[in-house]
Chain A
Amino acid sequence: MRIVVVGNGMVGYKFCEKLVGKNLPDLQITVFGEEQYPAYDRVHLSEFFSGKKADDLSLASRSWYQEKGIELHLGDPVQYIKPSVKLLHTFKGYIKHYDILILATGSSAFVPKIEGIEKDGVFLYRTIEDLHLIQSYAPKANKGTVIGGGLLGLEAAKALLDLGISNTHVIEFAPRLMPRQLDEVGSEMLMTTLAQLGLTIHTNTNTSRITGDDCITGLEFADGSSIETDILVVSAGIRPRGELAIDCGLETGMNGGIVVNSRMQTSDTSIYAIGECALYNEMIYGLVAPGYDMAEVVVSEICRMFDASAATKLFTGFDMSTKLKLVGTDVASFGDPFANGKNISNIVLKDTVKGVYKRINVSADGKYLLGGVLVGDASQYNMLLQTCRNKILLPPHPEDLVLPAREAQKEEGAGVQALPGDALICSCEGVSKDIICQSVTEHGCETVDAIKKCTKAGTGCGGCLPMVKDLMVYTMKQQGKYIRNVLCEHFNYSRQELFDLIKLHELKTYDAVLDQLGKGDGCEVCKPSVSSLLASLWNEMVLKKGNDTAQDSNDRFLANIQRGGTYSVVPRIPGGEITPEKLIVIGQVAQKYGLYTKITGGQRIDLFGAHVSDLPLIWSELTAAGFESGHAYGKALRTVKSCVGSTWCRFGLQDSVSFAIRVEERYRGVRAPHKIKSAVSGCIRECAEAQSKDFGIIATEKGWNLYVCGNGGSKPQHALLLATDLDDETCLRYIDRFLMFYIRTADPLTRTATWLNKMEGGIDYLRNVVVNDSLGMAAQWEQEMQALVDAYQCEWKTAIETPEIRKRFAHFINAPQEKDPTVQFETLRAQKKAANWK
């Protein structure tokens, strides 16, 4: 059977993938694509600007088509079809006969007829080619504009911002943004947030003319006003590409959509249309998930041509719920977002401070969720969507679904068990809850990656991955498997269990722990974990004989290894306060040993490029001048940043620097499951950014507010308020308890933010433990912390004074004076830098 596919876009490709998966005999599949690239992930097109290459977005390589026996012609659009004789002609002159023809021609951006639209600097936003053009034009532009305030328009606007065009406008014809997804209040909330991101939004605005000679210089509007712009992206909607269908006499609808029935058949029974070019029930489905569903329908049709008893699958419309990916704030709408009227109640939460708007529409009897809108916080999107789609009975107080306070008390994974087995979890790939659960019970998948591989769930837009993970945990729990996080093959214990056992048996070296509690000879996973536990428990010098080689390489050399194999040196500068004399010493040391110097994010100075054999010499000079190790190499307290506070700042309420120094000197050297950062701000203006730290302190009129479990890094998270208006001593006691609780119970390499996220009961539980002492551990923890504080020693001081340890700082064991000759530097802005990776 000869199957010809016109269009190698997302849906055309998915059709091929699904069809070859059926292993039908004697299929000859031919694909014609107009674009130069094999099908790529258009949904994530904007990631092209964050550095992804065309290859990264590709859905399958050319060789995939070859392997599957698919004849692929790219850059060769089909020019016309002759349905009467079942053949088609292409641009490059191919004439191809077909038995079954699939039109997957997608859509193109709608280009409104505006005077001047042909000028240079006016672009569309649909293909990789479009993005190439925008990218090469953008450096010339200071001001940018997007016509269209819908889903794609906002994405394009964000892309312009990301390209460095900070002055970007969005022009929307309708009275509000995303008119198809958002109601008026939601749209307003979104506008406020976008304005803060730097976008200027004009609604109710009709563009009448594009001005400029050859290149665009501005826009004029129907009301007589105008703006200047150097670049314009038009994103005013999509038009299905029905031109082939129209030319050959297939039935098409408004705007050229190709009319199909629920089998995706056009008015010619040998021709099917799928994806964004297909018009079903007078509607174009402009999302990938329905397109994939359509592809599945046609594949089942073809299967039935081979085996009439195969199951029939029909297309019956599709839920157009969406979550917007990257405007810098969450936006989602699901079900019927606008449902209104006397049989319907609307529950609305509006928080203009946080920029959050949530609306859910509930049936009059209060039993079912009909749809809703989420702006500013769409974390409940998946759960709400499932509740709506599967007609799950609502709880007695449906408002709980959107109220943030009660949400915090929900257990991790709660809710997934309520879903019916056929609930569609991944709509891109059409994977149900049952299939995911089965992959765990029957195919032994115990990681999200394994489930992705086995079921394809989460391989499309990825939005369902959190839910896939919840389902996995839930299923494993049900099987009684729940996930004991054992350390590695050498220890059959979790970190917390080991902590208690090491303490109980008073073990002090890695080998003793391995002999008594583990088996085998250890590895790079358990060695640093156990070493960290030993340090957290006893705070002995980490390089004590027997423990030295069980330390992570950075701990072993008390410095951070950097590109090229040299080390960086970070002396402690408590609170970021330093005298001119000490600054001069740092400068002199850097000069003498040829080090690159840079101010770190934690208010201290990092010296890079030290040879391993120079480390003891450098530190002899630094300790002589009164510096101590900064523990930048350890999973330990890093810095306590501070703002200048009441000593200088006109707003300061308390002396934030003095307190920061006190805090840093108290917890310096304390080893933990991961690094710990802190900061103290002198008032609510928060110049020290305390709310992004593991624990952060902000001055109030009466004392200090303590925040915990914040995080910068790749998944930033604000710290949460633990207690208010504390005096110095109480604040330190709470921090003692908080840190000991964390050190005791967190998994290896888990930052406080993740630790809290996994904690059942969340911040309320943590507050109970730390402030109300609900576990009765407070006194013991304070004592333990005091013991660690008392046992503190500067590791570098000990290292340079102990010949046995000092001897280890040589590159060659048989030529201790020689440095590694392969180390290479390059020059950059009058300093050196490590040579690039080879």
Chain B
Amino acid sequence: MITQNETAVKNSQWFTACKVEDVVENGGVCVKYGNKQIALFYFTRRNEWYATQNECPHKKQMALSRGMIGTKNEEPKVACPFHKKTFSLVTGQCLSGDECSLKTYPVKVENGFVYIDVSQ
């Protein structure tokens, strides 16, 4: 089991997003949770999972799940396909010098299923 955020153990509310094999390797998919859209990333090279809001704060495009992921000085990030602004997958902060940031969600994997904590 891999968890991103050990502190969120309390009050967490795990939502079953999909199966592990549904998610592309080293890329992202979009998960529907009620009216929300969550971008879920499987950084296979690092064996890490991340989840953020799917909407890019720059021009409000539902697109981050289709962005390329990578690292900047070891910090995992995603680049929006529209104007290539990049955001940290860990903190959600914009790494291209803008003020905006992303909401991030804890992720865990159990028995081949991927869960996203939607409690906050």
A524 near B24: Cβ-Cβ < 8 Å: no
A813 near B31: Cβ-Cβ < 8 Å: yes
A524 near B40: Cβ-Cβ < 8 Å: no
User: Provided the pairs A814-B17, A820-B62 are in contact, do residues A522 and B32 lie with their beta carbons within 8 angstroms?
Assistant: no
Interface size class on chain A is: 35 or more
Is B6 interfacial (CB-CB < 8 Å)?
A: no
B79 near A548: Cβ-Cβ < 8 Å: no
A521 near B43: Cβ-Cβ < 8 Å: yes
Q: A527-B68, A554-B81 are in contact. List 20 more A-B contacts (CB 8 A).
A: A490-B70, A521-B71, A522-B70, A524-B67, A524-B68, A524-B84, A528-B68, A549-B27, A553-B67, A553-B68, A556-B27, A556-B66, A565-B62, A812-B31, A813-B18, A813-B29, A813-B31, A814-B31, A820-B62, A837-B59
In the complex the two chains form, what is the Cα distance from A521 to B50 in whole Å? Answer: 15
In the complex the two chains form, what is the Cα distance from A522 to B37 in whole Å? Answer: 26
Question: Please, what's the 1-or-0 string for A800-838, where 1 marks a CB less than 8 Å from any CB in chain B?
Answer: 000000001001111100101111000000000000011
Is A657 interfacial (CB-CB < 8 Å)?
A: no
**Chain B residue at minimal CB-CB distance from A564:** B61
Contacts of A528 in B (CB 8 A): 68
Which of B55, B59, B71, B84 is the one whose CB lies under 8 Å from A522? B71
Is A561 interfacial (CB-CB < 8 Å)?
A: yes
Which of A511, A523, A556, A557 is the one whose CB lies under 8 Å from B79? A523
In the complex the two chains form, what is the Cα distance from A578 to B46 in whole Å? Answer: 49
Shortest Cβ distance from B118 into chain A, in angstroms? 13
CB-contacts of B62-120 with A (<8 A): 62-63, 66-74, 76-77, 79, 81-82, 84, 86
In the complex the two chains form, what is the Cα distance from A292 to B73 in whole Å? Answer: 44
CB-contacts of B1-22 with A (<8 A): 17-18, 22
Is A93 interfacial (CB-CB < 8 Å)?
A: no
Question: Please, what's the 1-or-0 string for A529-566, where 1 marks a CB less than 8 Å from any CB in chain B?
Answer: 00000000000000001101110111011000101110
Contacts of A545 in B (CB 8 A): 25
**Chain B residue at minimal CB-CB distance from A549:** B27
In the complex the two chains form, what is the Cα distance from A811 to B26 in whole Å? Answer: 17
CB-contacts of A407-421 with B (<8 A): none
Which of A511, A548, A552, A822 is the one whose CB lies under 8 Å from B27? A548
Is A489 interfacial (CB-CB < 8 Å)?
A: yes
**Chain B residue at minimal CB-CB distance from A561:** B81
Q: Summarize B's interface: helix, strand, loop or mixed.
A: strand
- Which positions in B face A, CB cutoff 8 Å? 17-18, 22-27, 29-32, 35, 37, 40, 43, 45-46, 55, 59-63, 66-74, 76-77, 79, 81-82, 84, 86
Contacts of A527 in B (CB 8 A): 68, 70
Is A396 interfacial (CB-CB < 8 Å)?
A: no
Which of A511, A524, A548, A822 is the one whose CB lies under 8 Å from B86? A524
Contacts of A490 in B (CB 8 A): 70-71
| CB-based A-B contact count at 8 angstroms | 99
B43 near A549: Cβ-Cβ < 8 Å: no
A520 near B24: Cβ-Cβ < 8 Å: no
User: Provided the pairs A552-B68, A814-B17 are in contact, do residues A838 and B31 lie with their beta carbons within 8 angstroms?
Assistant: no
Give the interface centre of B26, B27, B40 by most chain A CB atoms within 10 Å.
B26
**Chain B residue at minimal CB-CB distance from A515:** B45
B82 near A561: Cβ-Cβ < 8 Å: yes
Contacts of A821 in B (CB 8 A): 35
Which of B32, B37, B59, B84 is the one whose CB lies under 8 Å from A838? B59
In the complex the two chains form, what is the Cα distance from A546 to B44 in whole Å? Answer: 11
In the complex the two chains form, what is the Cα distance from A107 to B37 in whole Å? Answer: 61
In the complex the two chains form, what is the Cα distance from A565 to B32 in whole Å? Answer: 16
Contacts of B22 in A (CB 8 A): 813-814
**Chain A residue at minimal CB-CB distance from B86:** A524
In the complex the two chains form, what is the Cα distance from A556 to B68 in whole Å? Answer: 10
In the complex the two chains form, what is the Cα distance from A821 to B33 in whole Å? Answer: 13
Contacts of B25 in A (CB 8 A): 545-546, 549
B24 near A822: Cβ-Cβ < 8 Å: no
In the A-B complex, list the 6 residue pairs whose CB atoms are closest, starting with the nearest.
A549-B27, A523-B70, A553-B81, A524-B79, A813-B29, A838-B60
Which of A521, A546, A561 is the one whose CB lies under 8 Å from B63? A561
**Chain A residue at minimal CB-CB distance from B56:** A565
Contacts of B37 in A (CB 8 A): 812, 820, 822
Contacts of A823 in B (CB 8 A): 62
Which of B61, B69, B72, B74 is the one whose CB lies under 8 Å from A565? B61
Which of A520, A548, A813 is the one whose CB lies under 8 Å from B17? A813
Shortest Cβ distance from B45 into chain A, in angstroms? 5
Contacts of B45 in A (CB 8 A): 511, 521-522
**Chain B residue at minimal CB-CB distance from A554:** B81
In the complex the two chains form, what is the Cα distance from A563 to B83 in whole Å? Answer: 11
B60 near A523: Cβ-Cβ < 8 Å: no
Which of B43, B59, B60, B68 is the one whose CB lies under 8 Å from A550? B68
In the complex the two chains form, what is the Cα distance from A552 to B37 in whole Å? Answer: 22
What would 19 A/B residue contacts be, using CB atoms closer than 8 Å?
A523-B72, A523-B77, A523-B86, A524-B70, A548-B27, A549-B68, A553-B66, A561-B63, A561-B66, A561-B82, A565-B61, A811-B30, A813-B22, A813-B23, A813-B30, A815-B32, A818-B32, A837-B59, A838-B59
In the complex the two chains form, what is the Cα distance from A557 to B28 in whole Å? Answer: 13
Contacts of A837 in B (CB 8 A): 59-60
**Chain B residue at minimal CB-CB distance from A823:** B62
B74 near A520: Cβ-Cβ < 8 Å: yes
Contacts of A822 in B (CB 8 A): 37, 55, 62
Contacts of A523 in B (CB 8 A): 68, 70-72, 77, 79, 86
Shortest Cβ distance from B57 into chain A, in angstroms? 10
**Chain A residue at minimal CB-CB distance from B58:** A837
In the complex the two chains form, what is the Cα distance from A818 to B35 in whole Å? Answer: 12
**Chain A residue at minimal CB-CB distance from B28:** A549
Contacts of B81 in A (CB 8 A): 552-554, 561
Contacts of B31 in A (CB 8 A): 812-814
B17 near A521: Cβ-Cβ < 8 Å: no
Contacts of B84 in A (CB 8 A): 524
In the complex the two chains form, what is the Cα distance from A524 to B61 in whole Å? Answer: 18
**Chain B residue at minimal CB-CB distance from A548:** B24
Which of B35, B40, B76 is the one whose CB lies under 8 Å from A813? B40
CB-contacts of A457-492 with B (<8 A): 489-490
B68 near A521: Cβ-Cβ < 8 Å: no
In the complex the two chains form, what is the Cα distance from A808 to B76 in whole Å? Answer: 23
**Chain B residue at minimal CB-CB distance from A612:** B66
Question: Please, what's the 1-or-0 string for A676-715, where 1 marks a CB less than 8 Å from any CB in chain B?
Answer: 0000000000000000000000000000000000000000
In the complex the two chains form, what is the Cα distance from A815 to B84 in whole Å? Answer: 27
Contacts of A556 in B (CB 8 A): 27, 66
Shortest Cβ distance from A815 into chain B, in angstroms? 5
Shortest Cβ distance from B60 into chain A, in angstroms? 4
Contacts of B46 in A (CB 8 A): 521
Contacts of A526 in B (CB 8 A): 70
